[in-house]
A and B are shown apart, each in its own frame.
Chain A
Amino acid sequence: MSTPTHLIRAISVIAHVDHGKTTLSDRLLEYTGTVAPRDMVEQVLDQLDLERERGITIKAQAVRMLYKADDGNTYQINLIDTPGHVDFSYEVSRALAACDGAILVVDASQGIEAQTLANVHQALDHNLTIVPVVNKIDLQQANPELVREEIQKVIGLPAESVIFASARQGIGTKEILEAVVSRVPPPTGDRSAPLQALIFDAKFDAYRGVVTYVRVLQGTLRPKMRIQMMQTGKSFEVDEVGVFRPVRTEVEDLSAGEVGYLIANIRNVRDSRVGDTVTDEARPASAPLPGYRHVTPMVYAGLFPTETDQYQQLKEALERLQLNDAALVYEPESSAALGFGFRCGFLGLLHMDIVQERLEREFDLTLLATAPTVEYRVRLRNGEEVPVDNPDHLPDPAEIEAISEPMVLATVVVPSTYVGNMMELSQERRGVFLNMEYQPGDRVVITYRMPLAEIIHDYNDQLKSRSKGYASLDYELVGFEEANLVKLDILVAGSPVDALSMIVERSKAHQQGRRLTEKLKTLIPRQLFEVPIQAAIGGKIVARETVPALRKDVIAKCYGGDVTRKRKLLEKQKEGKKRMKRVGSVEIPQEAFMAVLSLD
């Protein structure tokens, strides 16, 4: 028995990281009986092991709940949980496109932070109705009234619309559900119109092929129907449609306004593109839905298998992962030092970290990642413009007319005490001050224009450490700007290691070269011979350090029981070496390739 359209709601929960949106989602599931309290594993919606371990949400999840409201009606509420970290704002945007409303969660002790603002802007861009919730009111440091005032002044939502809640203690859950059914509008679609369903996520099931997550906006989706993907033109016959409660549950159909999944024996991950529109082949919609904004990777890095024979496995793993992580882009790359691998584009460093960890865990690979870099645009003397996402591919300086780098608008929210520190840090990072606004609760919103390259090099960590953890950051790409940049090469034992080169601002190049060689000296273990580490700009050596040769490695006694012990010790040392990459005759550990990230 399907729910009448006017009783359907589709909402997301949005929040700055750690403000408690996943816990709040858990309470909603419990309160509506979607999950029995005894089955309640904490953070039901975070399905990846990695998400539970790190206590963060990476992937959007979609669940259908049934809620009997005070007006006597039973509503179908489709809840899409979203990540809060700045790296994953793209996931947020995908989730929001499939919703009519959003619950905005703000921590009662932290107040509005950088991603709170970013998420609100995205929600407003998608015309969503916002239900503001001040969470964690049970905490001792909570100041819900002040945060309510902030929401009114900064976001412009009326103070009386704010709901006080404590997801941990279950306070406010009913009020939130009532607000959702009364404030968020029902979907406007027509069940009998030609089918238009938006793909907002997908994952691969080893037995069933691709499981496509959709929101039906017009028409009805049924099994046996022949569907067409409007962007790719490919057709499939629907095998099964269903909803998440929160486990996959088959249903008879999905009609306008509903959120669920479809399985149609889709084997190739590329045939189910996030942002594409699913329609009825027999009675197609006149036009596709507006897709998502195209995702632009912020940082690029090489991923290489430490064992060269794992290249093919890595390739397949990336294909699989990309289905579930639309923001990941990659193409084959070869490095003189590291062999064959892939140049990958990521949304940010956390995203990169998570991709690497998922590849290693879910696909049993051992990978080496090179230092992340941004994409530069190089204008050549012959007028041609080429993108460069790998420092080693920078053309010969003689051919270069100018290099441009990506710039961001960085928004930092910070208590006023730390404003001085923030300004100092941002200026060190080539930031140009744009604006400063005071907010209630003694907080300041500062905006800077600065190179993205400076942000990915440890900026967020520095921001946190210079503000005792209070500052929060959001940024968006605003274009490219010319800068005076040079390539810094690193030579290990006399040979350049392509995977260690970086593009830096000319005035900082010497200093960076010195710091990098010093850092590498501490990271590259002693080898059988002395290993010189040099930094060079345009062939000229600007810094040099030396890793002294291993002096002594011998045990005095080797009798009976010592033998087993010695063999185990040596085997263990050898195992540790597998995490290193042999470049020429030098063993270089993973950390060395990441050294450029933390030079300050």
Chain B
Amino acid sequence: MERIKSLYLHVPFCTWLCKYCDFNAYAVLNGLIPAYVEALSAEIRASARTFPLGPLETVFLGGGTPSLLPEASLKGLMDEVRELGLQPGTEVTMEANPSNVNDSNAAAWLAAGVTRLSIGIQSTEPGALRFLERLHSGEEALAAIRTARRAGFRNISGDLLYGIPGVSTNRWLESLEAVIDAGVEHISAYELTVEKGTRLGQEVRSGKVQMPDAELQLEQYWAAVDRLDRAGFSHYEISNWAAPVFPSRHNLAGWHYQPYLGCGAGAHSLFRHDDGSSERRWNLKGPHAYIRRVLTTGEAVEGSEVLSAARARGEAAMIGVRLLDGTRAAQAFPVERKRLVGAGLLTEHGDEVRLTRRGVELANQVGAAFLS
């Protein structure tokens, strides 16, 4: 099995569950945090014995809201991670809710070893924040960036959403502008997506909320592409932009189909076997079940799927084409490549392919072509 150099840790707790979110997150379970952190540490320890793990190049604490973790819990967790071995300059990202970013927390995160902060700003527009049920104001979100910077973070990412009902393209660009002005190294801008089983999903189905049409979504997307380009950000993945040398190394590893271990409730892992096949594995989603299982058996696997070498190549290509600087992942698919080039969705550059503008808009069609 290929050595694993990326680790994902899932923290499934939130103060409030926003109506559009379908991540594995739970509100009002804060009382569970100590037991959960204990289980998560146990899973990391057990994994170190099972897998060829570390030294780590990237660590990512995602959620939920990992910035809710008490200082001691985070420190304990990071001590556990350090036991696996870290490379010099390991990227340690933590997702943070703007409401949790203050001087003392930021200092504690840095002290625990977090090197990169991904702040969930979403929007600075009051109507949009109300619609999204965010508990912070736009001003507070921008202040969070400045606070983190002041505390000493040198690598800050801002998460934003576009395609929000009632938000015009100009208003969207104002949010984007404000975040650029506040000074970040990285921006993720996601289209607001209606997921099944969310409250937003119900509202759309019942007709209470109407989502913007594809034309407007694309207008906002390409407007952002333009604006970020002018601000000197490089557009390296469909929804991600970075200042030079600041792409998310953790996410890049995933898009390059490198193996990673995911620990925590509902976390997914990718293993790569020597014969070219790959294996995806996922943990139990519910925190109670997760804790109980890890504390008795050391792991909490709910399911797994092995992909043959051929299917793994297809999956790698499906993900790889999302990297806009080009990918070699589609080398095994000359026929499909040719067809997609002919359809104007891809361009070829030696053994690399790149999505065209139209290819970006239809990236699923491109990805699907590589699946069997």
Contacts and interface: CB of A to CB of B under 8 A. Distances in A.
Contacts of A558: 238, 255, 319, 322
Nearest to A564: B280
Nearest to B248: A559
A552 to B, nearest CB: 4
B266 A561 contact: yes
Contact of B360 (A554, A561, A566): A554
B239 interface: yes
Given A556-B193, A560-B254, A563-B280, A570 B262 contact: no
A554 B238 contact: yes
A553 interface: yes
Contacts, number: 83
Interface in A517-540: 528-529
B268 A570 contact: no
B210 interface: no
A1 interface: no
Nearest to B191: A556
Contacts of B362: 528, 550, 552-554
Given A563-B280, A564-B268, A566-B318, A556 B368 contact: no
Interface in B225-278: 238-239, 251, 254-255, 260, 262, 266-268, 270
A398 interface: no
Contacts of B308: none
Interface in B169-223: 190-191, 193, 214-215, 217-218
Given A551-B361, A570-B371, A560 B190 contact: no
Given A560-B254, A563-B280, A563-B315, A550 B365 contact: yes
A553 B364 contact: yes
A435 interface: no
A552 B218 contact: yes
Contacts of B217: 552
A206 interface: no
A557 interface: yes
A573 B365 CA distance: 10
A282 interface: no
Nearest to B339: A585
B212 to A, nearest CB: 11
B318 A570 contact: yes
Interface in B315-371: 315, 318-319, 322, 343-345, 360-365, 367-368, 371
Interface in A539-584: 550-561, 563-564, 566-567, 570-571, 573-574
B109 interface: no
Interface string B293-330: 00000000000010000000001001100100000000
Given A551-B215, A551-B361, A552-B361, A560 B368 contact: no
Given A528-B365, A553-B362, A567 B315 contact: yes
Given A550-B365, A556-B193, A574-B371, A561 B318 contact: no
Residue from A557, A573, A574 having most chain B Cβ neighbours under 10 A: A557
Contacts of B24: 561
Contacts of A560: 8, 254, 260, 262, 267-268
B266 A552 contact: no
Contacts of B238: 554, 556, 558
Contacts of A564: 268, 280, 282, 305
Question: Could you tell me the dominant secondary structure of chain A's interface residues?
Answer: loop
Contacts of B318: 566-567, 570
A553 B322 CA distance: 13
Nearest to B251: A559
A449 B293 CA distance: 77
A553 B345 CA distance: 12
B145 to A, nearest CB: 22
A562 to B, nearest CB: 9
A551 B267 contact: no
Nearest to A557: B190
A566 B267 contact: no
A140 to B, nearest CB: 41
Nearest to B260: A560
Question: Could you tell me the dominant secondary structure of chain B's interface residues?
Answer: mixed
A59 to B, nearest CB: 40
Contacts of B218: 551-552
A528 B345 contact: yes
A571 B371 contact: yes
A552 B211 CA distance: 14
Contacts of A554: 238, 360-364
A535 to B, nearest CB: 26
Contacts of B363: 553-555
Contacts of A557: 190, 193, 239
Contacts of B344: 528
A553 B193 contact: no
A529 B362 CA distance: 11
A556 B367 contact: no
A551 B368 contact: no
Contacts of A529: 343
A557 B268 CA distance: 15
Contacts of B322: 558
A7 B285 CA distance: 74
Interface string B31-51: 000000000000000000000
Nearest to A562: B268
Given A551-B218, A563-B315, A570 B8 contact: no
A290 B33 CA distance: 89
B316 to A, nearest CB: 10
Contacts of A573: 364, 368
A554 B218 CA distance: 10
A389 to B, nearest CB: 36
A561 B364 contact: no
A551 B213 CA distance: 10
Residue from A561, A566, A571, A573 having most chain B Cβ neighbours under 10 A: A561
Interface string B1-38: 00000001000000000000000100000000000000
Contacts of B361: 551-554
Contacts of B251: 559
A20 to B, nearest CB: 44
Contact of B368 (A550, A552, A563, A570): A570
Contacts of A552: 214, 217-218, 361-362
Given A528-B362, A551-B214, A556-B238, A561 B371 contact: no
Contacts of B239: 556-557
B190 to A, nearest CB: 4
A343 B204 CA distance: 47
Contacts of A559: 251, 254
A399 B214 CA distance: 52
Contacts of A574: 368, 371
Nearest to B262: A560
A563 B307 CA distance: 13
Residue from B254, B262, B282, B367 having most chain A Cβ neighbours under 10 A: B367
Interface string A443-475: 000000000000000000000000000000000
Contacts of A528: 343-345, 362, 365
B361 to A, nearest CB: 5
Nearest to A577: B368
Top 6 closest A-B pairs, CB basis?
Answer: A570-B368, A556-B190, A552-B214, A554-B363, A560-B268, A561-B268
13 contacts: A528-B343, A528-B344, A551-B214, A551-B218, A555-B193, A557-B193, A560-B254, A560-B267, A561-B24, A567-B315, A570-B364, A571-B368, A571-B371
Interface of B: 8, 24, 190-191, 193, 214-215, 217-218, 238-239, 251, 254-255, 260, 262, 266-268, 270, 280, 282, 305, 315, 318-319, 322, 343-345, 360-365, 367-368, 371
Interface of A: 528-529, 550-561, 563-564, 566-567, 570-571, 573-574
Given A561-B266, A564-B268, 12 more contacts: A528-B345, A529-B343, A551-B361, A552-B217, A554-B238, A555-B193, A560-B268, A561-B282, A563-B270, A563-B319, A567-B318, A570-B371
